[in-house]
Amino acid sequence: MDNRSVGTRQARDLLRVAFGPSVVALGVIAAVTLIQLLIANSDMTGAFGAIASMWLGVHQVPVSIGGRELGVMPLLPVLLMVWGTARTTAAAAGRSSWFVVRWVVASALGGPLLIAAFSLAVIHDAASVITELQTPDASRAFAGVLAVHAIGALIGVAMTGRLLTLPRVPRWLPEAVRGAAAGVLALLGLSGVVAAGSIIVHWGTMHDLFGITDSVFGQFSLTLLSILYIPNVLVGTAAVAVGSSAHIGLANFSSFTVLGGDIPAVPVLAAVPTPPLGPIWVALLIVAAVSAVALGQQCARRAAPWPIAAAKVAVAALVAALTMALLGYAGGGRLGNFGDVGVDQVTFGPAVFLWFLSIGGLTVAMAGGVVRRPKKVKPVAAPAPEPAAVFEDAAVVDDEDAITDVVLLDAQPELPEHAESFELGAPPIEHPDDPLLDPEEHFIADGDHPDVTAEKPPEQGD
């Protein structure tokens, strides 16, 4: 149980968000740099400048050495930095109020910007000793650091579910984001399978690239460098898979044509195809289709009316296309004398969007992700009160509580022809011809009626 006060815990969380991922990155970079310098039997002159330059390089800031710009930075370190920022931001934000969340995001951006300012100062000081090291552009450095940590902070806030509480945010948005993530991961994963198969096919080329150095440490450095650049190769393979193209200097690669050229001596680049192009590379289009199916399956997990289903697919395709375009931009740049390295930004993002929108939408329709919109039920008016029932040959007086007397008009029982009228108290009319009116029937003898008791005669002697 944490017995610290709330203010102390929040201050510690803010410090962790501000400096945690950056300090970890600095520690790893410093360890690698010092090991490199020790193995190379070099003095420690300019070590701090090298560490600062590598830390800025993690944030996609180009490094210039001897007038040659290294703008193609590996994507694996920057992805790890985004992941670390997102995790620390999500842990600090938690279920706090929006006021605390703002402070957490400000810390996630302010701490790295402060370290970037110190790094620029260290590089500028080291450049006065090592003339080959050049200070990078300050605006470019701050922009790169801000972009990397802003993306991580945004992902961290989204992980807490805070964005769903904002007004006018649709409830199906997480499903669309989940579909976009599935499509991007499927595209990169299948591209990795294709790249691995290509490396196996070009195993001899990779062996030659490892043979440029005889030392174990040199081969270990090439292996580590290849691992760091694996995401860059996957993005280039994905660009070829969706119908776009990737280039390394003058060398150009697509699903239809391959133009050869000089390739940097990095073993992982043995995966690039060599001319002439075989028909197997056309099969890369299947990778894009399968990735779009993965996106559509995620969007179809919860069926919805066609406007919502279409919106989910469109948003998922747009998010996936923007993500891949951002990865393509971050994984490219200038590589010294080789020229520009990267993907065709004009066609890469739109191609991903079209594949995911068309095949993903078809998958949603076939997987039962679209249902008919429920019909609007019209309100039923209350029934009008029925009028008082009028019966034939009868008149009924309606009353809410009770039914009153019913007066029969024409339903009187038939009377004998000679029975003209009856009056109260009038003597009965005798008709000798009518057996029903025999006068003897009206005589009552003593003891015949049960309610009549004959008087006893007086006893003698009374």
Asked if 271 contacts 201 with a C-beta cutoff of 8 angstroms, the reply is no
Which residue range(s) make up the domain with 316? 171-376
Tell me the pLDDT band of 407, cut-offs 50, 70 and 90: very low
Lowest mean pLDDT among 191-195, 274-278, 415-419: 415-419
Strand 370-371 and strand 304-305: pairing? parallel
Asked if 251 contacts 217 with a C-beta cutoff of 8 angstroms, the reply is no
For residue 453, being part of any structural domain is answered with: no
For 5-15, the pLDDT digits (tens) are: 556 777 888 89
Q: Give the tokens for residue 192.
A: 């990795």
What are the angstrom distances between the C-alpha of 60 and each of 22, 30, 185, 342? 14, 18, 22, 14
For residue 342, being part of any structural domain is answered with: yes
For residue 383, being part of any structural domain is answered with: no
For residue 417, being part of any structural domain is answered with: no
Burial-class residue 408 by CB neighbours within 10 Å (0-12, 13-18, 19+).
Answer: exposed
Tell me the pLDDT band of 338, cut-offs 50, 70 and 90: confident
b/e per residue, 411-440, with b = 16+ CB within 10 A?
eeeeeeeeeeeeeeeeeeeeeeeeeebeee
pLDDT at 5: 53
What are the angstrom distances between the C-alpha of 363 and each of 355, 368, 369? 12, 9, 8
Gap between the Cα atoms of 299 and 98, Å rounded? 30
Gap between the Cα atoms of 12 and 369, Å rounded? 46
State CA 39 to chain mean position distance.
Answer: 48
Asked if 249 contacts 356 with a C-beta cutoff of 8 angstroms, the reply is no
For residue 372, being part of any structural domain is answered with: yes
For 23-61, the pLDDT digits (tens) are: 999 999 998 888 888 877 777 777 888 899 999 999 999
pTM of the model: 0.76
Rg (CA), the chain: 47
Q: In the chain, how many domains are there? A: 1
For residue 81, being part of any structural domain is answered with: no
Q: Give the tokens for residue 273.
A: 């195809």
For 276-324, the pLDDT digits (tens) are: 766 666 677 889 999 999 999 999 988 888 889 999 999 999 999 999 9
What are the angstrom distances between the C-alpha of 152 and each of 76, 86, 271, 319, 326? 14, 4, 31, 16, 14
For residue 292, being part of any structural domain is answered with: yes
3 state SS of 458: coil
Name the residue among 373, 360, 331 with its Cα closest to residue 231. 331
Asked if 274 contacts 363 with a C-beta cutoff of 8 angstroms, the reply is no
For residue 195, being part of any structural domain is answered with: yes
pLDDT at 439: 52
Gap between the Cα atoms of 389 and 325, Å rounded? 79
Name 304's bridge partners: 370
Strand 394-395 and strand 370-371: pairing? unpaired
